[in-house]
């Protein structure tokens, strides 16, 4: 009983312009999405990676099944995590390498990512915190000289996107 009276008292004491801001912050939902492949993917040079499945996703991030584009409808700061289990195609020969990169509006984001393991099987991890504008598009794209496959299906490549702050 005392708690309720205290809360009501606090609501009356807070100026209306501050209360509106506090309520707005509580109502604003930060965006998130989980997009992945449930089937194998063969990724050719310079091509973006399509994703065939969507997991939990808020309305501020969109992805059409089978496409590579992930559209961020709200401006802000986002954390992006991509993980993939891949193999280099055998016809490429030893010593050839490729790089899987994160692109924002068709511009490569540098300084993020890593490839771990040894040929022919590799793990790809990209972690980034980026600032985006309303309507920006994210894709994962293959660079380099060797085509790679994500042959395992069952979530062998996935991307998780979380909005950390809005603008």
User: How crowded is the C-beta side of 55, counted as CA atoms within 13 Å?
Assistant: 13
Residue 67, both tokens: 């496409």
Question: E-strand spans in 19-146?
Answer: 32-37, 41-43, 53-57, 61-63, 70-72, 76-88, 98-104, 107-108, 114-118, 121-132, 136-144
The predicted structure's pLDDT at residue 114? 60
Q: Round to whole Å and give the CA distance between 2 and 8.
A: 10
The predicted structure's pLDDT at residue 46? 79
DSSP annotation of 134 reads: T
* For residue 39, pLDDT beyond 60: yes
Q: Residues 63-116: pLDDT tens digits?
A: 999 999 999 999 999 999 998 888 776 554 554 566 788 999 999 887 666 665
pTM score of the predicted model: 0.76
* For residue 53, pLDDT beyond 80: yes
The predicted structure's pLDDT at residue 150? 80
Q: If you average pLDDT over residues 126-153, what whole number do you get?
A: 85
The predicted structure's pLDDT at residue 44? 79
Q: If you average pLDDT over residues 129-147, what whole number do you get?
A: 87
DSSP annotation of 49 reads: P
Q: Which of 8-12, 16-20, 59-63, 94-98 has the highest mean pLDDT?
A: 59-63
DSSP annotation of 92 reads: G
CATH assignment, 29-166: 2.60.120.40
Rounded to the nearest 5 percent, the helix, strand and coil shares of the chain are 15, 50, 35
């Amino acid at each position: 009983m005392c708690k309720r009276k205290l809360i009501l008292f606090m609501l009356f004491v807070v100026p209306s312009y501050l209360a509106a801001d506090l309520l707005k912050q509580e109502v604003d939902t930060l965006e998130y999405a989980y997009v992945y492949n449930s089937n194998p993917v063969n990724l050719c040079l310079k091509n973006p990676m399509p994703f065939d499945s969507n997991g939990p996703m808020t309305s501020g991030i969109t992805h059409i099944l089978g496409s590579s584009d992930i559209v961020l409808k709200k401006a802000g700061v986002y954390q992006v995590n991509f993980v993939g289990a891949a193999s280099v195609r055998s016809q490429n020969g030893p010593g050839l390498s490729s790089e899987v990169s994160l692109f924002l509006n068709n511009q490569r984001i540098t300084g993020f990512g890593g490839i771990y393991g040894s040929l022919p099987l590799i793990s790809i991890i990209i972690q980034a915190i980026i600032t985006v504008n309303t309507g920006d598009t994210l894709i994962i794209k293959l660079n380099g000289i060797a085509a790679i496959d994500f042959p395992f299906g069952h979530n062998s490549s996935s991307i998780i996107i979380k909005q950390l702050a809005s603008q």
